Amino acid sequence: MLTIFGSMIASVIIGLAHKRSEEQIKALLQEKEVLLQEIHHRLKNNLQILSSLLKLEAEYLKDNQAIQVFKDSQNRIQSMALIHDKLYQSKDLARINFADYIQDLVTNLFFSYNLNSSAINLKINVENVFLVSDAAIPCGLIINELISNSLKHAFHQRESGEICIDFCSFEANLFTLTISDDGVGFAKDFDFQTTESLGLRLVKGLTNQLKGNIDFSNHNGVEIKIIFSTKNL
């Protein structure tokens, strides 16, 4: 009888210890989530401060080319700040809904370049894709560069045009991003691999960071297709 009673007490003690351990683990996880949220929030704020400083500095410049360089840098910083803002708001602190991100990013770019969205038709075909932050940041920067390039150069002396963004996952952890426009395109002798354009060099470097492949087409406008995997990121 004493043996049975002793076993019951031992079981109760083990159960209480197990429950306490689970509660401690749950509390630690909640504390970690709050800490990660705070980190993303502070990163977003710091990046926005940096972007604001660039904007203030640009107001003292007279050279149009220098002003454009500052604006481009500001947009790059904003694209990264938006990632951290989305992660801060997300229930899943490791991934963001990239369809929502793209819509907000492009809206910011149209506003930055003072363009009428009714003049340039924007087509966004993005699945309900979620990306981890290690992929989201370089991918966001790529989209920022390519859309900025189209907005600045594709529709000179034209009243209207079209930009298309397609982003999908056709296998687990394998993604295809395609950005195209029906603008004036590049010169016939343009070499994408040897270009000195900072924006396109960034696109190539960021694609390498994603361990992806890039395909460039310069026919009836420009189309750039990037295939990358998040499996090893």
> Are 97 and 75 a contacting pair, CB within 8 Å?
no
In angstroms, how far is CA 227 from the centroid of its own chain?
A: 15
Q: How many CB atoms lie within 10 A of CB 203?
A: 26
CA angle 20, 25, 27 (to 5 degrees): 95
Residues 6+ apart with CB under 8 A from 145: 76, 199, 200, 202, 203
> Are 96 and 130 a contacting pair, CB within 8 Å?
yes
> Are 184 and 154 a contacting pair, CB within 8 Å?
yes
Q: Alpha-carbon torsion 47, 132, 129, 169, what sign?
A: positive
pLDDT in the model for residue 2: 45
Q: Alpha-carbon torsion 137, 195, 112, 153, what sign?
A: negative
Task: Kindly give the confidence (pLDDT) of every residue in the chain, 233 residues in length, as a single tens digit, with 9 standing for 90 and above.
Answer: 545 545 655 565 565 556 666 666 665 556 566 666 677 668 778 878 888 888 888 888 888 888 888 889 899 989 998 888 888 777 776 788 888 999 999 989 988 887 766 678 889 998 888 888 889 999 999 999 999 999 888 887 677 889 999 999 878 789 999 999 998 888 888 888 888 888 899 999 999 999 999 999 988 889 999 999 987 76
- The CA-atom distances, in angstroms, between 162 and each of 142, 154, 192, 204 are 19, 9, 22, 23
Q: How many CB atoms lie within 10 A of CB 58?
A: 16
pLDDT in the model for residue 116: 65
